[in-house]
Structure 1
Amino acid sequence: MTDDAYLFLVDDPAAPLGAPATAAGDLACLETPAVRAWLDAHGVTAVSPNVRLLPPEETGAIPDGAEKLPVPLDDDELNRLRHALMPGALARVEEELLAYRDCAGERDALLARAAAAGVPPHRIVELTGEDPRTVASVAARGQGRPSDPGPRQR
């Protein structure tokens, strides 16, 4: 396995292997001199239905003898590529997971803002469903106090 995704050419545009190179949106690698030269050498453009892209974990599926080129993708580009390769239902669930991650990443800041605004900790717990110890810990950090680790196990 490689750490790079691969651009490659398929003979039949109806082949289900990989995603069209543009399916993952604008990719920085498509504007590099190396990729431009590779595309020119094969007489295709990035929007050609014969130009496909696979993420690193799937490059073993590229047929032997296929014209291919390793291309680096950043994390966002790689996520978009993987998303483009998924069936619709799975892609929707992944979108929900990403939305959760984005929301959960802001959790501590939101809890701290609520505590600083004067929302009582028990109400924050009721509204968020967070553990009372988590709310107390975040609220204490927001006020510059050491957090209370909660009840101790003996």
Structure 2
Amino acid sequence: MRLLLVIEGNDDRITAVVRYLRTLGVDMNLIEYRYYRIQSGEEMLDFELTVGPEQDTPTTRQVSGSTKYTEEKVYTQWLMPMQQLYFRFKKRLLDADETLQISPQKSAVSFYKQTRDARVYLCSLNAHKDQLNISFRTDSLEPHMDVETAVANITQQAPDWMVTNRGIV
């Protein structure tokens, strides 16, 4: 079954949701249209396929066989308390910026924002036993923000039970 969503104009939130659903394997396309009335009184519609197979990136393109990674396949490998922490963290991220995209890998889930020029990777989460690890992509974030100040703020606001570790990533 294929879903086809047609909207008037451009809505980045809807585009992000449709792209996200494609990463989960939903066969869904997004078509945007614009209505014009020219001076002679003629009416015109302009249609554009915004999200579909032709626009897929490696993270939204479906991969056949057992190498296909989905968010669900990643987090179901984790213990239930780690899954719950992940869902809380994910909700806070998406509440802060609903245009963030999710990129599942073999054992981790990354969050990124697609800009006009490139992807800006925010962080990657993975779990090992009873520990949820969050790695912030400083290499990707530094051109867009003061990473040192952000890390200091996160460390200061972290609960006592949270362990922070600085590394290359």
TM-score, normalised to structure 1, is 0.23
Rg: which structure is higher? 1
More strand by share: 2
More helix by share: 1
TM-score, normalised to structure 2, is 0.22
